[in-house]
Structure 1
Amino acid sequence: MADIAQSQSEIAKKINQFLEYLQVERGSSPLTIRDYKHYLVRFANWMDAEGIRMELKDINADVVRSFRAYLTGLPGEGKSQMTRRTQGYHVIALRSFLKWLIKNDYQVLSPEKIELPKVEERQVKFLSGEQVDRLLNAPTLSTIQGKRDKAMLEVLFSTGLRVSELVKLDRDKIDLDRREFGIVGKGGKARVVFLSQRATDWLVKYLNERNDHFKPMFIHHKGNPEPTTPDEKMRLTVRSVQRMVKKYSHKMKLPIEVTPHVMRHSFATDLLMAGADIRSVQEMLGHKNISTTQIYTHVTNKQLREVHEAFHGRGGKD
């Protein structure tokens, strides 16, 4: 997609200023900034291609409506049509851009006049307790790679970490005695993360096998790296962890495609099914908004499940 960095139009300049605001003042992650740039550049390029003047006052309800119609005709990733959810991301980015403009005293279309598209309710994939146990027991423990993988799987299920958070862990930042550590997650949100005793034990076993001084908690074990090798060259990548989880999922013939994020879902589901309150789970997951955590409640509300079993599960018997 074309870059608007060199464009002298009013809209292009303001988009670049908005992206700078996200980075400097909001502390948004590079991925968030990349996505917002992608969606807003697509909007600006569409306006230019349609011959619409690239000025803020020209963003009106009719223009937005036409842009949304244009999105419905675009192909999606591996699909014949862009999903409503992806269309929604474009609208969210545009609304955020307009809110920022209004905050900076520009007279533009009110973002409240742009409705978000209705999307299908997201289905949460998670593992049952028995499936989690099978996955956690999948690694071969006779090798250091197996012990590392076992420790990673235990940490993922014990903490609900995002995979991007997991790979950033450093040895000296984890208090194994207190079984906790601090982390700065999505959107710069800080939280305390707690380890189970089992996850802690496996981290200790893995670290006891290592005879290096590299800073990352999880490293690759290929060849014989020099002691002077930079720490970041040894750190596992997000992709390598995703491949590892997928490998063990296939090995154990689990019924769903397991990813690190499915393990995060499983962590949250396990807590809620055990009776944890949703606000505590929100804090542990590092969700900014409670609405994000509420996607789990339709499958985990223990009280409703018990009411259903008590009153509806009788099969119509008197």
Structure 2
Amino acid sequence: MSISEMERLFNNFKPENDLEIRDRTILELLYSTGARISEVEGLKTGDIDLENREIIVTGKGRKQRLVYLNKAAVFWIKKYLQVRSKLTYSGKDRYIMDNHLFLNKFGKRLSSRSIRTIVKKYVKKAVIGKNITPHSI
């Protein structure tokens, strides 16, 4: 994906709700860190160190590596963490206790398939006429 296509994707994406903030954060992480889908899917809240602008990513073979975050990624992670708790509320003062960073609308871990769907959705909205995969971001 070219730089101009990435700019078009991000410039046309103005999140209007909590799930769109989550989606924007995912796209930013994929772009700025080069992480694989499975690595983003597996991120837990404890893997993030915003003060030092880094995350611990668990890759293939359960090998962990330190990945540095740019300012945009830190901004979107902070914004997402502010709304993430709404996704864990299951009603009647009960909360789902899932420590994965990215959750679906039911408070469960977001799957790799869902991340692929999210990427395709916003690439299509940005009218980028290529078959863009999360890895090509």
Cα 1:255/1:168, change in 2 over 3 Å:
same
> Relative contact order, CA 8 A, sep 6+: which one is greater?
2
Q: Which amino acid aligns with 1:148?
A: R
Equivalent residue, structure 2, for 1:44: none
State whether structure 2 residue 123 is matched by structure 1 residue 256.
Answer: no
Equivalent residue, structure 2, for 1:216: 100
* Contact kept in structure 2, 1:220 and 1:236, CA below 8 Å: yes
Correspondent of 1:153 among 27, 38, 51: 27
Equivalent residue, structure 1, for 2:69: 195
Identity %: 37
Equivalent residue, structure 2, for 1:181: 55
CA shift, 1:256, in A, is 1.4
Aligned counterparts of 1:192 and 1:260: Cα–Cα separation in 2: 20
Aligned counterparts of 1:169 and 1:150: Cα–Cα separation in 2: 16
Describe the SS at the equivalent of 2:49: coil
- The structure with more strand, counted as a fraction of residues: 2
TM-score by length of 2: 0.84
- The structure with more helix, counted as a fraction of residues: 1
Q: Which amino acid aligns with 1:199?
A: A
Aligned counterparts of 1:137 and 1:145: Cα–Cα separation in 2: 18
State whether structure 2 residue 2 is matched by structure 1 residue 128.
Answer: yes
CA shift, 1:148, in A, is 0.5
Aligned counterparts of 2:13 and 2:105: Cα–Cα separation in 1: 15
CA shift, 1:183, in A, is 2.3
Describe the SS at the equivalent of 1:210: helix
Question: Which runs of 5 or more residues in structure 2 are unaligned?
Answer: 89-96
Describe the SS at the equivalent of 1:215: coil
Question: Which runs of 5 or more residues in structure 1 are unaligned?
Answer: 1-126, 226-233, 264-318
Deviation by residue 1:194-253 (Cα, 9 ceiling, x = unmatched): 11111111010011123245311110124xx6xxxxxxxx00000000011011111111
Q: How does 1:14-33 map to 2 (within 5 A)?
A: none
Q: Which amino acid aligns with 1:198?
A: A
